[in-house]
Structure 1
Amino acid sequence: MAEQARRMRRAGRCLIYVAAAGYGKSTTLETLCADGAGTYWTAEALLARPYRDPRTAGARVVVDDLCALPGPAQRQLARDLAELPAEVELWLAARRPLDPGFYSALPGTAVERGAADLALSLDQVARVLREEHGIVDAEPAVRVYDVTAGWPALVQFAGEALGRHGVGSEELLAALTEPGTPAASWIGEQVLAEQPEDAAVLMDAAVTLGPLPEALCIGLADAGLLDTGVPAGPLQSLRWLRRAGLLVAGAGGAPRLVPAVSAVLGQRRRAGCAGTGVRSDAFVDFAAGWYSGNGHPLAAAALLHRAGRPAQCAAVLAEHGDRMLAAGGGEQVVRLLRAIPDAERSFAVRLVHGDALRMTGDAAGALRVFAPLLEDPARCGDAGLRWRAAMVHYMRGEYATALELCTPPADAGRTVDDVLLLACRAGALMMLGRSADSAAVAADALRCADGGGDDRAKAAAHIAAALGAVGARRDEHLAAALEAAQRAGDVVTVVRVLVNRAEGLIRDARYPEALRVAARAVATAEHSCPPGLLVAALSNAGDALLRLGRYDEAERHFERVVAVSHRAGLSRAASGLWGIAEVRRQLGRREQSRTAFEEAVEAARAVDDTQVLVPALAGLTRVLLDGPDPDLAAARRAAEEAERAAPRILLPLALVAAGWVAFAEGVLPVAQQRAAAAVTAARASRRADCLANALELVAAVGTDTGGAVAALREAEAIWRAAGALPAADRALVLLGRVPGADGAQRSAAKAAARRLMDLGVPAIDGTRLPASEDGSTPVRMRVLGGFEVFVDGRPVPLPAWRSRQARSLVKILVARRGRPVARLELRELLWPDDEPHRTAHRLSVLLSVVRTVLDPARRWPTDHHVRADLAGISLDPGHVAVDVEELLSDAAHAALLIRTGDRAHAREVLVELDELYRGDAFSDEPYEQWADGLREEARAVWLRALRDLAGLSRAAGDLDQAVTYLVRLLAIDAYDETVHRNLVEVLVRAGRHGEARRAFDRWCQAMRSIDAPVPTARVLAGRA
């Protein structure tokens, strides 16, 4: 809002919102006056009192529903507003055209904002459905956006229909627009009834026509076939409807009615309530001819269909079908073909029909159309038939079948279909890992395309050639393909180019640019392309978002990949499953990630998709190695399969996975060999992302500290240049863990760790990041020395829990360390004296209470902190900081530092660990067996830390500090002979002989009390 105000002040004093009802004008204006900084008027109020008010000076005047004023009153209002002080801002709104004299009387230059500025984007529609209607699936948002064009009020109606009434997305348009429904009534009363008569005439024509280019409207008016009753002809009405938001940009940019409005008008026409009925033959002939001759063949076919002329419709489909499909008209073509009798379906029409079914995701239907043609000896060798049928199998991930169909005949020529067949063959070969064969076939396709001169063929051939090219050569092929596709008006091929371009940018680790290209591909593919292309575009966008650390958005894109694949019957869900798994891996959801990776591997194996299989196996390997109980055998099997399946370009991923397995197994030479090979392979294939991953492995397995630092610095530079800031921060954290890291590196590592935790990343390479006390983790729990929960830095008061069992539930979940606890077990622990079948509802209530306590503002999804699924209930360790988990993580890190010789850093970590241990875990639940395991583990870790601190202090010459730790240990366990001996030795070494004698006497007394051997006095002389 502030930005709009700044723009208004730059452009003039007055801003006018002009749009139909329901676009949010009144809400916007009321918000301006919410802080008392302005005066809000309605037209009714303006008619009842003077316009000028001294209280408005120096602030703003807001006038809503201007169109309710008659023309003279509008002009008078403009003159009165012009007399206000120059510093007063003027914000106005109208839902119908204003009197022309109004604008000329306004002060300065008026800035107008229309429906296009107020409509919701697809992302905003998805957010409204998710936050206000509880619809988390992304697919309904696309359907709602299609039907409403982002009209805010219609989006709300759609959300209510989907959420409250359980309407499926495919039935949404009918549910919104059937007579008597709330949305249909609102459209009739608040929208259609408000439009001027000339606009109503044009809308009625639009229901028959479809797209409404200005030139068509002028042509119809000049021919006497369209009379809106205004001197300026239909253009004035057309432009008004666009400003008001009833006409929106359709395919090719031509305006069309918002589908929900068009459907209501159609219902009224069929009911005889409005409209002029069926148009004249002259009207249909003129419009169909204009459409066909001016680049709108699909609109021509649709108009002929509505006019009941199937033979003419079929003729247009046969002549222009490929062009219609290339422009993204697959769904409309399928609907039109349903009304074409078999007798009117020529071979060309059948090819268009099968291709249209493929593009709409009906692979089975497309094969049913193509099967009899492929069995016909007179037709089966037709190149156009074979590449179209092959593309169906390609879309389903059946690359071997597609390759068989794309075998070129011996007498292959240079027709467009011949080139498209070769291009499809090259793609199938590449997906099967036969990159050299693919490059040879793509070269043949290029030679044929250059000889033929057809832009569609050139685009396909250059895309095929780009599959096996790298670097600048690949970019050249894609640029040539894009130019050819744009010249041909082939929207589908444009998206294919964008998809390939985005994939190349991801391989080159240019993630921000990749996201921009992928987002453009998704936006176009939503409405114009086969579902297979939409899946590819969504996968690319999700991959780029993942690398950029936008994890929630990435997961939504990957979930849509799975949903679209399943809905369309495609075998393309593997890439979405991989993406979901990788998001969850980075967010520390180990079990969920493992399950998704295993599903991705299975899906990729089923269709022999090595492009997904290898990354999925590599990711599964890392998940199996992370955590307290790594599954080395399963990890080794996954890495070995990845290495066997990997084509050259993916070999670095497999080698890195194998290196991590060898490292976990303790076979350091093999790990180092795999790391070096991965670096070499990544540099050879020019995969910057794979190179950075390989360098991280080099740093982990190398024995040279300087080499590790250099490798991590190079990895960090690669990630930062790529825009992958989470990965760059991961490299910084790893740099801070390198033995001998200086203060600056450790400080940078801590800052990077905080940034990663803000993103929800809890661990790196299985080691948890240290949660800070500065509130960066919204939910923190303390169980050491007593149970306490902090939300946004403030302790949760006892009354907020509502019952003791709610706190106990959280404690039990903490004690299980993120592992699911079965509901029956929880009920027995919480209510041991009640029958389990009587406590199920109580557990649900407790779960709701806990979630409310941890997220009182409801900022996160329901399962953000506490997950509940078929396996049971668990605490999400990626979203909750628990002090005992930090203690165990710090202990493991310190042990690693001691093993690697970084004693100074280890001592720092152990000091922080000692400060963190405020008492035994669950000290307020001393008799609960569920707490014993974690309590004893934490206590043992702390005691080990004190022993290590004593030893490190002694080795560093800090004898006084060593004495302090040893005395503390004896206060905990007075019979620890090793500690007694160490204390006496340290005191002797420090020259504190009196204290040494007293310590020796206490040692002897302790040993006698338990009938243990008494030490000799030689220790007092410094001899064991």
Structure 2
Amino acid sequence: MHDLLRGRLSVVVAAAGYGKTTAVRQWLRDTGEQALVVDDVSADHLPSPQRRPDRLVLLSRRPIPVAALLRYDLGAPIEIGPRQLALSPRQVAVLLAGQYGVDNQDTAASVHALTAGWPALVHLAAAHVVSAGVSEPSTELLSQPDNPLHDYVCAEVLDDLTPDALELLAQLPVVGTVSAELTADIGEGRLGAQIGLLARLGLLLPENGRHRAVPLIAAIAAARHPVPPTRRAAFVALVADWHRDHDRLVDALRLATAAGDRTRCADLLRDHGADLLATGAGSGIVAAAAVLPDVLRDPAIDLIHADALQATGRTRAAIAAYARLTGGADSLPAGLAWRYGAALYLWGDPNDALAVLRRGRSGGDSDPDTALLLAWTSAAHWLAGDEAECTAFAGKAVEAARATGDQRALAAAHVALALCADLTGDPVGLRAHYSRALEFAEGAGDTAQVLRIRVNLAAGLEQEGRLIEALAVLHPAVDLARSAGYDSSLALALANQGSLLHSLGRLDEALACYHEAVRVYERMHSMKVAYPLTGLGDVHRLRGQPAQAKAAYTEALRAAVRDGHHRQSMVPALCGLARVAAATDQEEAAVLADRAVEHAHGRWVTTALVARAWVAWQRGASDDVRRDARAAAEVAAVHRDRGGLARALEVEAAATDDPAAARELLREALSIWTESRAVLEADRIRVALGRIAGDHGDLRLNGRLAGSRLAAAGVADMPPTRPGAPGRVEIRVLGGFTVLVDGRRLPARAWQSRKARDLLRVLVARRGAPVPREELADLLWGRTAPAERQKVAHRLAVALSTLRTVLDPDRLGPADHFVLSSQQDIAVDLGVLDVDVEDLFAQAQYGVRLRERGEFADAWAVLTAADRAYTGEVFADDPYTDWARPLREEARAAHLRILRTLVDLAQRAGEVDDVVHYLLRILSVDPFDEQSHRDLVANLSEAGRHGEASRAFERYAEAMREIGVLPREVLGVTRHPAR
């Protein structure tokens, strides 16, 4: 308001209730400005020009002619209108929550939409919503007579308008939007003159060069001042014809339908049906056709009606409509045959589609419908997995399309060639043909084919691991399908978008896409609902929700086989079910996996073989795993299916006994997922790499970090432990001694022998170094006479056997899996044991290296996790054992190094609180660390926290006095305590 009212003469013009007076009063109060404000003025009752202040603000319910304003000689007047006074959606939400207790964003959005933010209407609508106890306000509810809102609009707004203005408002609920050009052309100039006036008052809202009414105002005006039906029909007919003549066919059809003008509807459908459908008016065509009596229908109208049903996702109705048009004939015109066959194809039934497509007859070399018939026949063979027939018909389609030169036919032919490339594993050809197809489809203005091509092209890019590119291709398709009302394309695009978001680690967004795709497909009764259902199953399995995963996969499989076998959606559902079943019923899992392999074709062979390999891995059949994994990798290479190749490498690594070979396989899989930016899959591989026996370094730490990220993302599907292998053993010595097997803490009774427990403690304290048997005997039983050494050696052997039994009670691994031994010495294998202090050392080294490489964020994550892991000194429950002292001191030093590096990182980030926190942690461990004392004082002083700095300096001085050192000045803080 300040910017708008800074001129010497301002005029605030709007209808009653826009808050003109309130806004100006608030402006004066907030700014302290001085102005003469004259409220409720009109052109006939203006203040005298002789009384001319330095600044004048006029408030009016009607526009004031500029000539009348220029008499004040205050410069050019500035007009402030209703759009500057209206409340924004956010302001409406705040008002409803604060003043009316309506804390519902959807309710607030509805109130704003109905009132356009008109302040008085917002208040009245909110009060009515509260009194009526509704959460979804509507035009019908708020415009009812005998409520305060209705009465206010009639008395304060409508009664002040001319009859022409009232008639225009009353016509708008049917007409929708108007422009001065429209009303001038149809001979309604007297109404056209009202548009500018009503817009300046805030009753009409600008919209793309046209105007629409505030919904509540139009509804109340139509009810209060009804237009006679004949006059309304005549006006609507004129407007509809104007839209038709100006190529606004969608508006023309909408108006003709709303007016119940059946003849105009029939003419528009017959003459312009294809154009209407191409511009996304499928729903409008369906609505218009529904009002036509049989006498006005003909085959051309019935055909465009069937096309509209198909485009808007009413597939069953479309198929029925096409079937009626065939009349049961064995031979069909090419145009009807390809449309009918395409509907069956898009519904997901290749066999029925082919049966119809074969009934089509050629219309000659120059007939585009013939080329389209051949192209859709090729596509149906692709859906059936028949490579030879797909290729043959694609070639014929290209020849026919080139003969016609029709862009729509050329687009369909290149789609057929792209599908052939998909079956034969030619991704370069696939992209090239889809690119050409997209050019032709866009040139023809064929929205349906543009959508189909974008969806398929994105799927091809996803297969190559080019996820970001695929998402960029697909996103416009989702928007276009949604705005154009192409439900079948929308559902498929959403399912594919969900798959991409899933791969990119955006699981919640993926779930939203899958759920919406399921809703759209279910509305269509399409078996293709199996696609998003399988996606839902994949997310649930990833999140460790097997019951929900199984339910989704089962429903997907049921949809895929409901009317025959839709192999493309059946195979991934079978694979998902097999993976879930493998944990509880390996026999059922094997049957499901075999079915998947049996029905798989093209790139789906990789998916099926990988699933069967995981099932075989679950039952420990390593040879079968390697066979299927390698076969899957070969198929993936042919189809350039990078994701499939990575999955094949992962399962082969799981079945590989050689740690070095497994590591190489997983590293290659990791590089694929990393390049694809599939963050969750990449982290799963990092976890698997970290679990490989014999690795204590960065791979193990990276695996731990990746596991933390996966847990934060809600992912529970970690690479599992090999079936039949010993459980995971974790040894904790920080803060006290504890052993966990498969996550369960061993009770005291599990040890059977205290000496076995002590043996493990000593071996861990030696950090995997071999300890001579004699030394162990002395540590555990004390020095003994030579004559007793044989007995002690036997006791040590018993303790060793007991220890091995405790760590591997089911004897799943070899005897020396966890504890290595020879005639001379014994050692623990730190490559297969998880020891918390060893992790601490590794994390400290890794974090420092990351900091030295400038990877500060990762260094902070590693070192803060290491700090949290330091829960106390080594063997804190037995602090006086000499054999533990070296490890205890080393762990303390590593922890101090972690803390000092965290101080450095916090200083770099300018996080003073973190700097202080970690310096205090250092001083709690080493109270005589002079540099940490000085750093603490300096940081507090630089942050302006002088009281804390002074107290820190006193603590520093006191600590130095205890060891006979004189404290030095720190940033001018020189208060020394009395000695």
| TM-score under structure 1 length normalisation | 0.62
Match of 1:51 among 28, 33, 47: 28
Match of 2:777 among 968, 973, 987: 987
Asked whether 1:375 is paired with 2:327, we answer: yes
- Counterpart Cα distance in 1 of 2:115 and 2:432: 36
Write out aligned runs for 1:848-997 (5 A).
895=726, 909-911=730-732, 939=747, 943=751, 958=766, 986-988=776-778, 992-994=782-784
What do the CA deviations read for 1:580-617 (whole angstroms, capped 9, x no partner)?
11111111112221222222222223242222222222
Gaps of 5+ in 1: 27-41, 58-64, 83-92, 121-130, 768-888, 898-905, 921-933, 964-981, 1008-1020
- Counterpart Cα distance in 2 of 1:245 and 1:938: 76
Asked if structure 2 preserves the Cα contact closer than 8 Å seen for 1:917 and 1:942, the reply is: no
* Residue 44 to residue 166, structure 1, CA distance change in 2 (3 Å): closer
Residue of structure 1 equivalent to 2:468: 512
Write out aligned runs for 1:138-287 (5 A).
179=144, 204=170, 206-210=172-176, 212=178, 217-228=180-191, 230=193, 246=205, 257=212, 265=218, 269=222, 271=223, 273-274=225-226, 278-279=230-231, 287=239
What do the CA deviations read for 1:697-734 (whole angstroms, capped 9, x no partner)?
23222233333223222222222222211212222222
Asked whether 1:676 is paired with 2:466, we answer: no
* Residue 219 to residue 742, structure 1, CA distance change in 2 (3 Å): same
* Residue 468 to residue 50, structure 1, CA distance change in 2 (3 Å): closer
What's the CA shift for 1:341? 1.0
Which residue identity lines up with residue 450 of structure 1 in the other structure?
Answer: R
* Residue 962 to residue 561, structure 1, CA distance change in 2 (3 Å): same
* Residue 280 to residue 398, structure 1, CA distance change in 2 (3 Å): same
- Counterpart Cα distance in 1 of 2:27 and 2:217: 41
- Counterpart Cα distance in 1 of 2:768 and 2:398: 80
Residue of structure 2 equivalent to 1:800: none
What's the CA shift for 1:248? 5.2
Residue of structure 2 equivalent to 1:613: 570
* Residue 264 to residue 718, structure 1, CA distance change in 2 (3 Å): farther
What do the CA deviations read for 1:285-316 (whole angstroms, capped 9, x no partner)?
65444433443323223333445542232122
Match of 2:684 among 722, 730, 738: 730
Match of 1:635 among 577, 589, 594: 589
Residue of structure 2 equivalent to 1:664: 618
Residue of structure 2 equivalent to 1:398: 349
* Residue 220 to residue 738, structure 1, CA distance change in 2 (3 Å): same
Asked if structure 2 preserves the Cα contact closer than 8 Å seen for 1:503 and 1:540, the reply is: yes
What's the CA shift for 1:192? 8.3
Residue of structure 2 equivalent to 1:624: 581
- Counterpart Cα distance in 2 of 1:945 and 1:551: 49
Residue of structure 2 equivalent to 1:779: none
- Counterpart Cα distance in 2 of 1:499 and 1:465: 16
Asked if structure 2 preserves the Cα contact closer than 8 Å seen for 1:225 and 1:283, the reply is: no
- Counterpart Cα distance in 1 of 2:243 and 2:488: 29
Which SS does the other structure have where 2:332 is aligned? coil
- Counterpart Cα distance in 1 of 2:233 and 2:768: 105
Residue of structure 1 equivalent to 2:336: 385
Match of 2:448 among 480, 492, 508: 492
What's the CA shift for 1:282? 7.3
What do the CA deviations read for 1:42-90 (whole angstroms, capped 9, x no partner)?
7545655882757899xxxxxxx999999999x99999799xxxxxxxx
Residue of structure 1 equivalent to 2:818: none
Which SS does the other structure have where 2:187 is aligned? coil
Which SS does the other structure have where 2:505 is aligned? coil
| TM-score under structure 2 length normalisation | 0.64
Write out aligned runs for 1:761-800 (5 A).
761-766=715-720
* Residue 266 to residue 956, structure 1, CA distance change in 2 (3 Å): closer
Match of 1:363 among 293, 315, 327: 315
Asked if structure 2 preserves the Cα contact closer than 8 Å seen for 1:326 and 1:489, the reply is: yes
Asked whether 1:701 is paired with 2:655, we answer: yes
Residue of structure 2 equivalent to 1:502: 458
Which SS does the other structure have where 2:732 is aligned? helix
Residue of structure 1 equivalent to 2:703: 749
- Counterpart Cα distance in 2 of 1:571 and 1:195: 59
What's the CA shift for 1:405? 0.6
* Residue 726 to residue 343, structure 1, CA distance change in 2 (3 Å): same
What's the CA shift for 1:466? 2.5
Residue of structure 2 equivalent to 1:814: none
Choose 942-951 or 325-334, whichever is displaced more: 942-951
* Residue 1001 to residue 718, structure 1, CA distance change in 2 (3 Å): closer
What's the CA shift for 1:344? 0.9
What's the CA shift for 1:937? 8.0
Asked if structure 2 preserves the Cα contact closer than 8 Å seen for 1:147 and 1:173, the reply is: no
Match of 1:551 among 507, 516, 525: 507
Match of 2:531 among 552, 575, 590: 575
What's the CA shift for 1:376? 5.4
- Counterpart Cα distance in 2 of 1:747 and 1:363: 53
What's the CA shift for 1:474? 2.5
* Residue 146 to residue 596, structure 1, CA distance change in 2 (3 Å): farther
Q: Percent identical across equivalent pairs?
A: 28
* Residue 211 to residue 419, structure 1, CA distance change in 2 (3 Å): farther
- Counterpart Cα distance in 2 of 1:98 and 1:473: 68
Which SS does the other structure have where 1:764 is aligned? coil
- Counterpart Cα distance in 1 of 2:116 and 2:350: 39
* Residue 117 to residue 656, structure 1, CA distance change in 2 (3 Å): farther
Asked if structure 1 preserves the Cα contact closer than 8 Å seen for 2:333 and 2:361, the reply is: no
Asked if structure 2 preserves the Cα contact closer than 8 Å seen for 1:566 and 1:573, the reply is: yes
* Residue 950 to residue 698, structure 1, CA distance change in 2 (3 Å): farther
Match of 1:564 among 520, 539, 553: 520
What's the CA shift for 1:764? 0.5
What's the CA shift for 1:554? 1.4
Write out aligned runs for 1:304-315 (5 A).
304-315=256-267
Compute the RMSD of aligned alpha carbons.
5.9
Asked whether 1:480 is paired with 2:436, we answer: yes
Which SS does the other structure have where 1:910 is aligned? strand
Aligned residues: 761
Gaps of 5+ in 2: 92-101, 799-822, 826-979
- Counterpart Cα distance in 1 of 2:571 and 2:28: 72
Asked if structure 2 preserves the Cα contact closer than 8 Å seen for 1:548 and 1:724, the reply is: yes
Which SS does the other structure have where 1:648 is aligned? coil
* Residue 946 to residue 318, structure 1, CA distance change in 2 (3 Å): farther
What's the CA shift for 1:489? 3.0
What's the CA shift for 1:507? 1.7
Which residue identity lines up with residue 392 of structure 1 in the other structure?
Answer: A
* Residue 935 to residue 406, structure 1, CA distance change in 2 (3 Å): closer
Asked if structure 2 preserves the Cα contact closer than 8 Å seen for 1:67 and 1:95, the reply is: no
* Residue 918 to residue 568, structure 1, CA distance change in 2 (3 Å): same
Asked whether 1:525 is paired with 2:488, we answer: no
Which residue identity lines up with residue 958 of structure 1 in the other structure?
Answer: R
- Counterpart Cα distance in 2 of 1:754 and 1:945: 36
What do the CA deviations read for 1:166-215 (whole angstroms, capped 9, x no partner)?
99xxxx97866774699996996899869998987765554444465x6x
* Residue 49 to residue 150, structure 1, CA distance change in 2 (3 Å): closer
- Counterpart Cα distance in 2 of 1:183 and 1:151: 17
Residue of structure 2 equivalent to 1:651: 605
- Counterpart Cα distance in 1 of 2:61 and 2:457: 43
Which SS does the other structure have where 2:620 is aligned? coil
